[in-house]
Amino acid sequence: MSTIDEVAFIAKVSVATVSRVINNNTNVTPETRERVLEAIARLKYQPNAMGSLLRKEHTGMILILLHSVDNPFFSPIVQGIESFAQSNGMNVLICTTYGDKQREKHYLDLLKSHFVDGLLLITNTLTLEELNDLNRNYPVVQVVEYLPDSDASYFSIDFYEASFKLVERLIEKGHQHIAFVHAGLKDIVSTKKKYQAYCDVLRKHDLTPVQLNETEMVFGYESGRDITKKLLDIDPKITAFFATSDLIACGILDECLNRGFRIPEDKAIISFDNTIFSTLVKPKLTSVDVNGFQLGVQSLDYLNKRIHDKKYNDKIELFLPYIVHDRESS
């Protein structure tokens, strides 16, 4: 592999002159520029891209911080981000934390060291004070999950409204024993809003919430199935389930079918995220589409404006429209 020193030697110029040619600096004579370019071509020299990036005011690199890639819910959001990035000459770096604060700190150092221009927080473990401090010093946007009282802008959907409508529909269809099923992070805003809406609707109709009062369970299909087993053993009168995600709903569905129940005649199921799982199973799941692609596009559009205009720091609190897909499970 050729080096910049070898290019300088062949072209009979200094390393600084080679660098100026590579970075299109006009302070080089046409003859010298031609000589350097010929040496680069002859040696097939490839400049160190990272070094060039770090010498610029902006690197064109965006950091996406999310909990994990286990949940297909994140896919359309990331696709939207990448679509905007590609159209605007930007690159994205996707990092997962799995709720580990040390991992999160490690990745946030990329922002603090200016390795990346800005940060899209899809999930995080930051406190309100930590997030506000980060937002004061760097371009930051919260996507889907957010701390409502923070100074940082966020792009999400109205989880409370969507959940309220879903549970109301179940009650309108005659369901009075409705279980709430969740596995995974409990302290994020989406979970809190879904549960708050669920409780408020039941309270409105003088109905009693049904759920497992257990410690936080690992997100996924198996947890959905295990929770359903326990709930049906405790309260066989349950006729409907409100799942906080499709993958959990798939576990509910399989457990109900395994026990011989008909869906939705015996047990109805409603869910969130409208991932590919919602239409692969039979019967197909009623699920809320959170408009992930547009969330990705609009959040990066805003972040890009913050990166290039330091005075552009107005807080944006935007709920994008969602779609409820009514399918066979309810």
* pLDDT (tens place) for every residue of the chain, 330 residues total: 778 888 888 888 888 888 888 877 778 898 888 898 888 888 888 776 555 554 556 778 899 999 888 788 899 999 999 999 999 999 999 999 888 889 998 999 888 888 899 999 998 788 999 999 999 999 999 999 999 899 999 999 999 999 999 999 999 999 999 999 999 888 899 999 999 999 999 999 999 999 987 667 888 899 999 999 999 999 999 999 999 999 999 999 999 999 999 999 999 999 999 999 999 999 999 999 999 999 999 999 999 999 988 777 788 999 999 999 999 999
304 and 230 belong to one structural domain: no
Is 327 part of a structural domain of the chain? Answer: no
- Looking up tokens 């004070």 gives 129
Is 329 part of a structural domain of the chain? Answer: no
Q: Which amino acid is at 319?
A: F
221 and 297 belong to one structural domain: no
Residues with Cβ within 8 Å of 127's Cβ and at least 6 positions away in sequence, in order, are: none
Residues with Cβ within 8 Å of 298's Cβ and at least 6 positions away in sequence, in order, are: 155, 318, 320
pLDDT of 3: 84
- Asked whether 180 and 159 are in contact (CB, 8 A), the reply is no
- Grouping H, G, I as helix, E, B as strand and the rest as coil, residue 142 is strand
10 Å CB burial of residue 271 (0-12, 13-18, 19+) is: buried
Is 328 part of a structural domain of the chain? Answer: no
Is 330 part of a structural domain of the chain? Answer: no
Q: State how far Cα 300 lies from the chain centre.
A: 12
164 and 249 belong to one structural domain: yes
153 and 194 belong to one structural domain: no
Using CA atoms, how far apart are residues 279 and 20, in angstroms rounded to an integer?
A: 56
pLDDT of 55: 52
Is 237 part of a structural domain of the chain? Answer: yes
80 and 145 belong to one structural domain: yes
Is 55 part of a structural domain of the chain? Answer: no
Peptide bond into 283 cis (omega under 30): yes
- Asked whether 274 and 212 are in contact (CB, 8 A), the reply is no
116 and 137 belong to one structural domain: yes
| Total number of domains in the chain | 3
Q: State how far Cα 79 lies from the chain centre.
A: 10
Q: Which domain holds residue 232?
A: 159-289
DSSP letter for 285, please.
P
- Asked whether 2 and 45 are in contact (CB, 8 A), the reply is yes
Is 86 part of a structural domain of the chain? Answer: yes
Residues with Cβ within 8 Å of 148's Cβ and at least 6 positions away in sequence, in order, are: 189
Is 311 part of a structural domain of the chain? Answer: yes
192 and 173 belong to one structural domain: yes
107 and 198 belong to one structural domain: no
164 and 285 belong to one structural domain: yes
